[in-house]
Structure formats: structure tokens, C-alpha cells
Chains A and B, each alone.
Chain A
Amino acid sequence: MVETQEEENVYNWDVMEIGHTATPLTVEVTKERIANYAKSVRDDNPIFFDEAAAKAAGFDGIVAPPTMLYVYSPMRRAEIMNGLGYVSPEQSKEARSTPFAGTEVMFQGVPVLAGDTITSQPAVDRKWESSSGNRFVSFRIIATNQRGEKVVEYLYNVIWEYAQGQKSRNG
């Protein structure tokens, strides 16, 4: 197992450093993308589809659902690892998952509207081990719009490794 990981150069706990990052990503937030996102989470609020409804709600145009942040400013953990010359645990021959554990979102009062262009960059923010031995990693993503205004900053936490013999998500 260790030899396989070394041959593959799998990103691991020991090489992980705070600040490891990927290149910035720019995404155009179109009406179509907003509609697709809203449909994919089955949220039929008309402000995500209809300009008049959005304006009646106080926006200048069709607005993105708040949690579309995970689409227009994605966490991109594999790209961080690939950019450093590693494969992610999910990509390895001995594939294993690093499941979602939680998130912390700080909106900035700047709604994302159709036509906006969002640039984001993720980075390893923190790694820690719980009292039960599970290992966690937190990625911080900061997203700005075409005017340079920060629209959202969020943390995306994953369970990096379970303590031996433990399968629960609880830390």
C-alpha cells in the first residue's frame, strides 16, 4: 500500500501544508447556469429564474441561489494536489474518499447576479486531528466579482482519514 502510494505520488497528511493552493478560477454566472443550479437542488423560487420576480425581491436582476457558491467558486481539492504533482486520494489506484464534514460560509452582502464573473482561489487552511483520532482538513475559498468585491469567503471541511476502525462521521 505504501509502495503503491509512493509510486503514484498520492497527496498525504505529511506533505500537506497550510497555504497549498490552486491557480485562480474565473466562472461566468449566466442565467442558464443559475437556472440549472436551482433545478438541480429543486429550489423553484422565481427569483432564480425570472427577472421581474428578482427585481421585486430587491435585486437588480436574476440572482444566484446563495449555495451556488459551491459551483461558481468550487473547492477544487484535486486541482490543488495535481498542481503540486500529486494525485488525490480519490484518484489513486487504492481510491478512498475524503467526505464532506461541514462548512462555514461568510457572505459579504454582495449578491451574485446573472452576468457576474466570479474569480476564486482555494487553499489548505487548517489540518487537525480530533480526540477520537479522525483527521480533518479545512480548505478556505475566497471569491470576488468582476469589480473586485469579495462576494463570499467559505471553509469546506473534509474528513481526511478516519481513525483506525472507525467509520462514523462524528469527530
Chain B
Amino acid sequence: MTIQAASVTFDSIQVGDALPILEKTESQETINGYTEMNRREDAPVQRGANLHTDEGYAQAGIFAGTVNQGVVTCAYLYELLQMAFPVPNVYRSTFNMRALEPFRPGDVVSFTGKVLDKREEGGQRLVDVEVTGTNQLGQTIASAKATVPL
């Protein structure tokens, strides 16, 4: 069964249930847009090389090209959580994520998840899930475990 935020309950969840599927792409424009749209007016002047928006620097760097901001990949993993659980519950969650491969412009990444466990602990009903992002080459680009009180 695929769990959905609008109908999920602790009792209805089964270990092994799937989360919905979320697909995301990046382009250099979307990567630049994240930086531009979230810039603080009072932030110190940015100096130095940028792995995300400085294409010349990134080309010579460890990924041989620009990559998205890792925290944006986190946003996609959280969006998937929000599709499966009400946002007020997500605001009580814990989340542990590891970046494994870069998310490059032109990549298409599918974010999927499954329920690992459900348990009662300290008076709370908790659901443990694993969420991952897989690119068009079949590489896992990021993996996270989250615990959501329900």
C-alpha cells in the first residue's frame, strides 16, 4: 500500500508500505535560482569559488561540473515525507541524510520511500521510514532515515 498524508494513520500503516513517488530534475537555472531567491540582503559579500553556480570553477573541480545544493536534495526528500505525512507531524520528526552522489543539471531523480518500522516509545507512536533518491543511471544519490510521530 502507498501511504498518503491525507489519510495516513498509525493503525493503518504496515511495515513495508511505500511512500508516494516524487520525480525532480535540475538545470543550471534552477540551481542558480535557489541561490538567488534565498539570498539574505544583509549577508556578507560572497567571496570565493562556488561549486553550484560557478561553472568554470566547478568544471575543474571534484565533480567535473556544477551540482545542486545538497540541502535542496534534502528539500526533495522532505517533500516526499510531506506527501506521506501531515506537515505538523513532519515538524516533529527527526531526519538523518547522507549524500552519496551529485545531483547534476540534466539529471532526473526519483525519490521513493518505504516504512521500516512502527513502534510506541515514550508515549509516542513513531513511524520509521527510509527515503532515497535514484538518478536516471540507477545510482542512489541520497539516502535518509526519518522518524515521524503520528
**B74 / chain A contacts, CB cutoff of 8 Å:** 67, 70, 103, 105
The interface bits of chain A over 85-103 (1 if a CB of B lies within 8 angstroms of the residue's CB, else 0) are 0011011100111011111
Per the bound structure, the CA–CA distance linking A99 and B98 in Å amounts to: 12
Q: Are B78 and A65 in contact (CB under 8 A)?
A: yes
Q: Are B88 and A40 in contact (CB under 8 A)?
A: no
Per the bound structure, the CA–CA distance linking A170 and B99 in Å amounts to: 8
Q: Which residue of chain B is the closest to A101 with respect to CB atoms?
A: B99
Q: Are B99 and A91 in contact (CB under 8 A)?
A: no
Chain A, range 93-123, C-beta contacts under 8 Å to B:
95-97, 99-111
Per the bound structure, the CA–CA distance linking A27 and B38 in Å amounts to: 12
Q: Are B98 and A102 in contact (CB under 8 A)?
A: yes
Q: Are A57 and B71 in contact (CB under 8 A)?
A: no
Q: Are A169 and B48 in contact (CB under 8 A)?
A: no
Q: Are B30 and A42 in contact (CB under 8 A)?
A: yes
**A42 / chain B contacts, CB cutoff of 8 Å:** 24, 30
The interface bits of chain A over 65-80 (1 if a CB of B lies within 8 angstroms of the residue's CB, else 0) are 1110011001000110
**B87 / chain A contacts, CB cutoff of 8 Å:** 45, 47, 57, 59, 63, 66, 111
Is B51 an interface position by the 8 A CB rule? Answer: yes
The interface bits of chain B over 58-78 (1 if a CB of A lies within 8 angstroms of the residue's CB, else 0) are 000111000101111011101
Q: Are A40 and B49 in contact (CB under 8 A)?
A: no
Chain B, range 21-46, C-beta contacts under 8 Å to A:
24, 30, 33-34, 37-38, 40, 44
Q: Are B37 and A39 in contact (CB under 8 A)?
A: yes
Q: Are A100 and B99 in contact (CB under 8 A)?
A: yes
Per the bound structure, the CA–CA distance linking A37 and B79 in Å amounts to: 13
Q: Are A107 and B91 in contact (CB under 8 A)?
A: yes
Q: Are A100 and B69 in contact (CB under 8 A)?
A: yes
Is A5 an interface position by the 8 A CB rule? Answer: no
**B95 / chain A contacts, CB cutoff of 8 Å:** 103-105
Per the bound structure, the CA–CA distance linking A71 and B34 in Å amounts to: 10
Identify the interface centre among A88, A100, A167: most chain B CB within 10 Å of its CB.
A100
Q: Are B34 and A41 in contact (CB under 8 A)?
A: yes
**A92 / chain B contacts, CB cutoff of 8 Å:** 48
Q: Nearest-CB distance from B148 to chain A (Å)?
A: 10
Q: Are B38 and A71 in contact (CB under 8 A)?
A: yes
Chain A, range 37-56, C-beta contacts under 8 Å to B:
37, 39-43, 45, 47
Q: Are A105 and B33 in contact (CB under 8 A)?
A: no
Chain A, range 129-171, C-beta contacts under 8 Å to B:
162, 167, 169-170
Q: Which residues of A contact B (CB under 8 A)?
A: 27, 33, 36-37, 39-43, 45, 47, 57-59, 63, 65-67, 70-71, 74, 78-79, 82, 87-88, 90-92, 95-97, 99-111, 162, 167, 169-170
A-B contact pairs, 13 of them (CB 8 A): A40-B72, A57-B87, A59-B88, A65-B75, A67-B71, A90-B49, A90-B50, A95-B48, A97-B61, A99-B67, A106-B94, A111-B91, A169-B101
The 5 closest A-B pairs by CB, nearest first: A100-B70, A91-B48, A95-B49, A41-B75, A90-B48
